[in-house]
Every structure is written in structure tokens, then in C-alpha cells.
Amino acid sequence: MFRALEYQERVLTALEVYLDRLTVEKMAADEVAELLAERPKLKLSVPDFSEATWEGLRGEGKLPVSRSAIPYSPRRDGMGNSVPNTVLKVPTGGGKTYIAIDALARIFGKYFNQNTGFVLWIVPNEAIYTQTLKALKDRQHHYRQALDRAAAGKVLILEKNDVLNVRDVEANLCVMLLMLQSANRETKDTLKIFRDRGDVHGFTPAEGDQQAHAEALARTPNLDAYEDMFPMVKDSLGNALRIIRPVVVMDEGHRAISPLAVETLYGFNPSFVLELTATPKDVLAKGGKNPVAARPANVLVEVTGKELDREGMIKMPLNLDARQGVDWKATLNTALERLKSLAAAAVALRAETQRYIRPIMLVQVERTGKDQREGGHIHADDVRDWLMTVGLADEEIAIKTAEQNDLKQPEKQELMSPKNRVRVIITKQALQEGWDCPFAYVLCALAASSNKSAMTQLVGRILRQPDAMKTGVAALDEGYVVSHHAKTGDVVTAIKEGLERDGLGDLVLAVGGDDETGGEDGIPKRIERRATFQKTKIYLPKVLLVDKTGARDLDYETDILSMIDWRKFDPKTIADKIPENARAAQNQLQRIELVDKGDERIVSEIVAGGDEGFSFDAVHAVHAVRAISDLVPNPFVGREIVERLLARLKKRGFAAEKIGVLGGLIVEQLRLGLDKERNKRAEVLFKGEVEAGNIQFRLRADGNNWVMPDAMSRVVAKKERQLVGEDGGSLERSLFSPIYENDFNNDERDVAVYLDGDKALKWWHRNVARTQYGIQGWQREKIYPDFIFAVQSGSGPDRLLVLETKGDHLDNPDTAYKDKVLSLMTENFAWDSTASAGTLELIKDGETVECSLVLMSEVKAKLPGMIKSK
């Protein structure tokens, strides 16, 4: 099951913003470089376009808040050119690979303006290598299908020992998988990758053409060559890569941080480096004999554990049962009972929904070796014997150790298959990263005290939710850790570390230990409402779709996107915007050949994708239709639009070959145009439905409202500062208490302090984005306002005010959109007294709700009026 997730959308949007800016900066830098080439005496230096892009984004506040103070860390390739580098922080289990592929499609579409090229995909270990390779080679797999869509079906998956031909690179999107070790070792000269070999064709000049070889070296000085009287470039994979200038994707990018790894990697002259990691690592500066400059990660977007949790992708909360007894069998029995109750729940679930889940328990033991059974340690075989005496069959147990791997047996291989019977996996060491089984629900840590690090790692292995979707059955949506004979505090710390390692550090708070002995740098804390508001029920209206079957939350895809009728759409304006002299911001493959032509020798340059007489044919048309399928869901309608676009271009005088060459740009422009049109049409549609009363924003007597929680939880660091009022005293009117400074940026802090000081306010609340109150408008992303506060006017009813603050100007499209949605909602707020029999009825007390957007620069001027008015 695959669905678009809100945060994935957010990541890709951020990347698009980055790429747009990068393209502009790159072109500007190229112009300077051209000028310098013509007039070398000018006192100019070519700006670092990657850095300029980054600083530009920082200026606009587009970088993650937590990293806004960290400087950009420039990267340079083996020839000293600037290399754009971005890190996407995505927790384990967050669909990293899928994001990477979607990101590649954007990078090639926006930055290279073509859909062929070369990607070097670097993975950290064998397990992930095998998995990724299998997925990418399988045409039925959604990863591969996403790639096929990006490259119009011309995808070539390569391994490092495959034959590499320049023609393949020119005509396909080649993805070469490489394990980190292959590119990262001290003795790099002996590595196969740098060896001269006979099956890398066409990248270097013909043997014996000495001048051409010299020329090639001059253009790409970091090529490996035989340095003789006449230098000769080696036909190695490494050299081919240096000439190709690949796009590098680093899975688990935080592992390639050693100076050598970075040097080798950037030595391949990459034209773009995209890193994906759960835990970005900032390399600190090091002095001494071999000084290393600081190299922080250039994090563009951060996805938090909470976002994953909200999409139902992970099992949360984790329930911890820290057993203190000395009898490990009792602990194992507890865990087994848990597994059995889960299995029963799973059977019931399958009967109702046909969804198959077979809960699996991981048992961590102390010893596994054949001759280590004596000596009083808990041994894998002891555990298995005990499980068999209590009734499990041999087929239901698998032992996975260094010397024995039952999971490789044919009948135990496919853990997700209904035909597989494995229910318990016994292991000592950590299972490899990338080994993931969503069916693993229970971790029974029998070696919790003796091997904490393995336990830490194992916690991460039980987090993924089957099908990445909650079941609705609480038991099957949560994870379970049963630990043996270890201090609760220690186990909590270990779990916390485990979560942090998977980039889910913000979720720690959901771990239910029985006491508050947390780790060093913070303990999960429950933050309650103030005593005076503890009993107050606070409701806010949701944006609901109301039809004869009832009212439900407005669903963007179903109720907005699908309702747009594209049948009569004419893409004329889009077609007219496509420039005739378009060129790509960056080219990948640059290859030179020296050709004898009389006395003169001519340097010919071949640029990927440019020479092959492409015409925009059926293949491209089908590709284009797929590429816009998220905007125009019906492919028959999509095809009609593509047809009209092509017809218009032909009318403008574009020849078939030209349309073919510009294919990537045309699709890109079409997407942009359709996106704009979609937002326009969605707005009209939304407003119409509001007018007609089908989309409502009402406080409902039947209780279908958003309910303010009674308590929140948050990790509080040891010396974390609480927010104080204007006079330095404690806050008085916040709904929850205490409130911490770190939850606000400077501007928001001022607003909070201001609100707290206003006597007309009953309470105020800092809304938590993405998990608390959100308003669905006519664009995909919900609006999460910053503040909610209640004003009491004399003896009259309360007014609830919902406030979104914005740092920039109203001409920013996002700000304008939010402003429009919020005012529309305010205009249409009402009470709805329909309540079906048997539901809890809300008493109508005349409370009103107003939503507004205020620019930070106008806060001081506008807030008093808002609080006082009406």
C-alpha cells in the first residue's frame, strides 16, 4: 500500500524551493565564469553558487529552525568546483528510499532539465545494498516504478562490476549502486574501482591519441593516469565517474564522514550530492597534526518522529515492562503472553478487515555459541528449548546469530508471507540496520543489563508499523519491550538512545516507564493544564464536509483534488511560456574527443541526452501523462492535455526534434502551470462548497469538533529555561504550565508574552504544529495556527481567537493563501445544533471563533484591536 504522506510532500517542496534557487544562482555564477574566461584580468571571483543558495534560503527563513545558526559547509569536488550538497533528515522507517527517488526526479527535472543521466547511489551495508538492488531491479516494485516514471522508462540499474558504456549513460537514467566500503578505504589505489579495466567504454580518448589524453587530463585534472612521457588516462570506473560527474545519493549519509570517505566521494566530481540520514552528524573542527576543518551537515529539511507517528507509520507508544526478578523464564513468559494476546488481536483483525499481521517477538539472549551453553548465561538454545516445551513448534522459532541463520531457510525467508510460521526470532547481537520486519512487535531483552548496546539497536527494529498504517486496534498499534533484570532508568535511557539513533529522538516522551529516571539530557515530562482550567472543555471547529451521510473531516485528495474537472482545460498559456532557447543549468556528462580534421584538431563535446535525435513520441507522451498524474488523476484527460500542449508548441513552430530535446523542460513547465491552475480552481471550488453549505466550519453540538487535550508531554532538558512574563515573573494566563522558551522563536516569544500580559485574556495556548489544531484549506497542507486564545468580554460569551503569525510580507503566496483561508473561515463560522440522538450534546453558549493572520511587523499594532473588538 502506498500513499502520499504529508511530510514527504513537505520534504519535496522544500527541495524544489532549493533547486529553483540553485538554478538561478548557478546560472549567475556561470555568467561570471564566462566573463572571467574572456577577460581573465578582471578582478572578479566566481561566487560559490551552492553557498549563495543556502544563504538565500536562510535569509528567507526556509531552513529548519533548529539549524538556522549553523553555517553552510561548502563542498568542493576534485577539481575545486563548488558542489551543491543537501541533507534530508528522515527517521528510519520514514520511506527514505522513496523520498530519494522522488528527489532524484526533481533534481533531474529542475536542475539538469533532462531525464537521463547518471546516479551513484551509495549504501552503508550489505543488507541495504541487497534490498535496494532487489527493489530497483524489480519492475513491479514501487521504487522502480517511481524511477521509471521519472525517466520515462529508460532506467538502467548497474553494479560496480557491470560493463559501463558511454552510450548507456547518454540514453538512460543509470543508477549505480555502490557500497560505502568500495569507495572508502585507506588503500584506495588497490580498490577495483580505480583499476584499469577493459569493460568501461568510450569515456576516455582512443589509445595512442596522446594529445587527446593530455587534453582530457587538462579538462579533468584529477583523473588517474599513467604518468609517462605521454600521460594516458586509465580506463577505470573511477575515471569514468569523474568524467560523468554523477549525482550522488548517500543513504545513511552520516556514515561517510571520515576525511577519507569525503575526499574519495567528492573526488568523483559529483555534480550534486544528496544525503539522506536519520541522524545528521556535524563534524567538529580538529587541530593537532592533521587538522580537520569543521564540516557541519547541510540539513535542508527535518522530518520528526512525531510526523511519522501522525501518519501512523510507527508503533507508538512503546510500552515498557521492566522485570526485576532473577528468573529469566518468568520474563520470557510475560513476553510470550503478550505475544499471544497480540496474535489473538491480529486474528480478530484479519477476520474483520482481511488484513494479515503475524506478531513476532525478538528475544535478545546473552550467549549463542555452540560451546558456550555452560556457565549460567542465558543461551539461545535454552530459550528455544523452553519455548518448545511451552508449546511452540520448531517452525515458529528462528535463531539468527553469526554462525546460524535460520532466517535463510527457504520456509522462513519471507517473514511477511502468510505461509511463513516464524513467531519468535532469537538473537544476541544487533540485527543489521536495514533488517526490518514490521511484524516484530515485542522485544524481550533478556540481556538488557549485560549487553545494553545491542538492546538499544534492537529497539529500532520493532518500530515499523505493518503496511505503514495503523490498524485502529490499540494493541496492534503499539510496541512492547520486556526487559529482564535491569534498572528501569537504564532501560529507558537505552530505549531513548535507540530512538535517537533512528532519528526519532522527539518521540522519547511517549515511552511509558514507571518512574521518571530518564537520561542525562532530558526527561519526558507531562505538562498539564493550569488548575483553574483543568475541567474546562475547549472545542474548536474543524473544516468538515457535510453530506447526507453525515459530516467528516474534509479530505484534500478526495474532496478537492478529485473534484477538479480538467476536461476542458487548454494549456495554451503554459505552452506559450516555454522558451525556445532553453538551456539546462547544469550538464552532467562532458566528454571530449579530439578529431583529426586536416591539420586542425577539433574538440568535440558530447553532452548527455542532447544528440540522439529524440522526438517527443508515444513514449514521452505516456511519461508526461504519468508525470502529471498527481495533478490530473485521470490519464485519459491527462493525455488530452498533453496533446493540446504539443499541438500548440507545433503551431509555435517547434520542430519534433526540438520538442523531444526539451522534453524534460516541457513536462516541468506543464507541471508548474497545472499546479497554479489547480490552486486557482481549488479555491473557486472550495469557496463554492462553503457557499453551498457543503464545507462547514462550525462548532457542532454532536461533538464532531477538535478537542483541546488535557495534558501534553515533552522532553525537558535539565536546565531548560521556562518562558517568563514581561516583568520577569512567571506566566499567568497560559493554558498549560510550565511553558519553555525553546518552543518559540523570538517573535513568537514576544507575542506570547504580550498575550500573557493582557488582562482581557482568559487563557492562551501555543498550538503545536502538525499534531494539534489544524485547518484544512484548498491546498494539500493543513494550516497550523501559532496561537489560540480566549477573550472574555464582560459577562458575555467567550471569543476564541486563532492566530497565525507570519514573518514576511503579504505578497508571499503562502502568506496570502493562509490569510484568505483564515478570513473565509471566520466569515463562515457558526454553531450547528444538529445532534443525533444518543450523542453527547454540547451546550450552545454563544461562543465565537475568529481566525486571523497577522504579520509579525504588525503584531503590536493589531493585537490590541483584535482582543478588544466587537
Partner 1 sequence: MGEPIELDKILTGKTLPDYAGLGAALFHMATNTSFDPKKMKASKFYLGESDAAHVWMLYKPDLDWLKSPDAALTLSKAKQYAESKPGKRHLVFAPARYVSKKLLAENNLSVEFVPLPYALYRIERA
Min. distance of Cβ 3 from partner 1 in angstroms?
Answer: 4
Helix (H, G, I), strand (E, B) or coil at 523: strand
Min. distance of Cβ 498 from partner 1 in angstroms?
Answer: 28
CA pair distance 52, 147, nearest whole angstrom: 30
Q: Of 140 and 581, which CB lies nearer to partner 1 in the complex structure?
A: 140
Q: Of 351 and 531, which CB lies nearer to partner 1 in the complex structure?
A: 351
Task: Determine, following the binding rule CB under 8 A, whether residue 625 of this chain makes contact with partner 1.
Answer: yes
CA pair distance 302, 242, nearest whole angstrom: 31
Q: Of 327 and 565, which CB lies nearer to partner 1 in the complex structure?
A: 565
Min. distance of Cβ 639 from partner 1 in angstroms?
Answer: 4
CA pair distance 465, 469, nearest whole angstrom: 6
Cα distances (Å, whole numbers) of residue 542 to 102, 695, 825: 32, 10, 10
Min. distance of Cβ 611 from partner 1 in angstroms?
Answer: 20
Q: How far is CA 485 from the centre of its chain?
A: 38
Q: Stretches 297-305, 390-398, 621-629, 842-850: which one binds partner 1 (CB under 8 A)?
A: 621-629
Min. distance of Cβ 373 from partner 1 in angstroms?
Answer: 45
Q: Stretches 391-399, 406-414, 627-635, 707-715: which one binds partner 1 (CB under 8 A)?
A: 627-635
Min. distance of Cβ 632 from partner 1 in angstroms?
Answer: 9
**Residue reference for cell 488530452:** 640
**Residue reference for cell 534530508:** 88
CA pair distance 682, 705, nearest whole angstrom: 24
Instruction: Choose which of 13, 125, 131, 145 interacts with partner 1 (CB under 8 A).
Output: 145
Phi, psi of 123 (to 5 degrees): -115, 155
**Residue reference for cell 514501487:** 142
Q: What is the dihedral of CA 628, 633, 635, 637, to 10 degrees?
A: -100
Q: Stretches 338-346, 405-413, 591-599, 626-634: which one binds partner 1 (CB under 8 A)?
A: 626-634
Instruction: Mark 635-654 with x for binding to partner 1 (rule: CB under 8 A) and - for no binding.
Output: xxxxxx--x-----------
Instruction: Provide the grid cell at 624.
Output: 508526461
Min. distance of Cβ 629 from partner 1 in angstroms?
Answer: 8
Instruction: Choose which of 622, 768, 816, 856 interacts with partner 1 (CB under 8 A).
Output: 622
Q: Which of residues 152-191 bind partner 1 (CB under 8 A)?
A: 153
Instruction: Choose which of 69, 618, 692, 843 interacts with partner 1 (CB under 8 A).
Output: 618
Q: What count of residues does the chain have?
A: 870
Task: Determine, following the binding rule CB under 8 A, whether residue 619 of this chain makes contact with partner 1.
Answer: yes
Q: Of 2 and 226, which CB lies nearer to partner 1 in the complex structure?
A: 2
Phi, psi of 557 (to 5 degrees): -65, -45
Helix axes 6-38, 96-106, angle to 10 degrees: 40
Min. distance of Cβ 151 from partner 1 in angstroms?
Answer: 13
Mapping DSSP onto H, E and C, the string for 430-453 reads CCCCCCCCCCEEEEEECCCCCCHH
Task: Determine, following the binding rule CB under 8 A, whether residue 621 of this chain makes contact with partner 1.
Answer: yes
Mapping DSSP onto H, E and C, the string for 782-840 reads CECCCEEEEEECCCCCEEEEEEEEECCCCCCHHHHHHHHHHHHHHHCEEEECCCCCCCC
Min. distance of Cβ 636 from partner 1 in angstroms?
Answer: 5
Judge whether 56 and 25 are in contact, CB under 8 Å: yes
User: What is the bridge-based pairing of β-strands 787-792 and 550-553?
Assistant: unpaired
Min. distance of Cβ 138 from partner 1 in angstroms?
Answer: 11
Task: Determine, following the binding rule CB under 8 A, whether residue 771 of this chain makes contact with partner 1.
Answer: no
Q: Which residues pair with 830 in a beta bridge?
A: 698
Instruction: Mark 195-234 with x for binding to partner 1 (rule: CB under 8 A) and - for no binding.
Output: ----------------------------------------
Q: Of 592 and 646, which CB lies nearer to partner 1 in the complex structure?
A: 646
Residue type, 424: V
Instruction: Provide the grid cell at 627.
Output: 508525470
Which DSSP letter does residue 519 get? B
Q: Of 188 and 552, which CB lies nearer to partner 1 in the complex structure?
A: 552
Min. distance of Cβ 712 from partner 1 in angstroms?
Answer: 25
CA pair distance 494, 484, nearest whole angstrom: 13
Q: Of 270 and 638, which CB lies nearer to partner 1 in the complex structure?
A: 638
Q: Stretches 420-428, 614-622, 652-660, 761-769: which one binds partner 1 (CB under 8 A)?
A: 614-622
Judge whether 639 and 670 are in contact, CB under 8 Å: no
Q: Of 354 and 581, which CB lies nearer to partner 1 in the complex structure?
A: 354
Considering only CA atoms, which of 560, 741, 555, 584 is closest in space to residue 115? 584
Min. distance of Cβ 460 from partner 1 in angstroms?
Answer: 25
Q: How far is CA 68 from the centre of its chain?
A: 19
Q: Stretches 137-145, 210-218, 270-278, 393-401: which one binds partner 1 (CB under 8 A)?
A: 137-145
Min. distance of Cβ 527 from partner 1 in angstroms?
Answer: 30
Task: Determine, following the binding rule CB under 8 A, whether residue 142 of this chain makes contact with partner 1.
Answer: yes
Judge whether 461 and 445 are in contact, CB under 8 Å: no
The rounded radius of gyration (Å) of the Cα atoms in the chain is: 30
- The DSSP-derived string for 462-488 is G-BPGGGS--S-GGGGSEEEEEES--H
Q: Stretches 163-171, 352-360, 481-489, 528-536: which one binds partner 1 (CB under 8 A)?
A: 352-360
Instruction: Choose which of 70, 469, 585, 753 interacts with partner 1 (CB under 8 A).
Output: 469
Q: Of 26 and 623, which CB lies nearer to partner 1 in the complex structure?
A: 623
Task: Determine, following the binding rule CB under 8 A, whether residue 656 of this chain makes contact with partner 1.
Answer: no
Q: Which of residues 511-570 bind partner 1 (CB under 8 A)?
A: 555-558, 562-563, 565, 567
- The DSSP-derived string for 38-50 is H-TTSS-----HH
Instruction: Choose which of 20, 44, 68, 139 interacts with partner 1 (CB under 8 A).
Output: 139
Q: Of 472 and 797, which CB lies nearer to partner 1 in the complex structure?
A: 472
Residues 6+ apart with CB under 8 A from 427: 362, 363, 364, 365, 368, 380, 399, 400, 401, 458
Min. distance of Cβ 507 from partner 1 in angstroms?
Answer: 21
Q: Total binding residues for partner 1 by CB under 8 A?
A: 38
Min. distance of Cβ 541 from partner 1 in angstroms?
Answer: 20
Min. distance of Cβ 468 from partner 1 in angstroms?
Answer: 11
Q: Which of residues 826-855 bind partner 1 (CB under 8 A)?
A: none
End-to-end Cα separation, the chain, in angstroms = 50
Judge whether 323 and 482 are in contact, CB under 8 Å: yes
Min. distance of Cβ 418 from partner 1 in angstroms?
Answer: 10
Q: Of 590 and 771, which CB lies nearer to partner 1 in the complex structure?
A: 771
Q: Of 562 and 869, which CB lies nearer to partner 1 in the complex structure?
A: 562
Q: Of 74 and 633, which CB lies nearer to partner 1 in the complex structure?
A: 633
Task: Determine, following the binding rule CB under 8 A, whether residue 473 of this chain makes contact with partner 1.
Answer: no
Q: Which residues bind partner 1 (CB under 8 A)?
A: 1-3, 139-140, 142, 145, 153, 352-355, 469, 472, 555-558, 562-563, 565, 567, 618-619, 621-623, 625-626, 633-640, 643
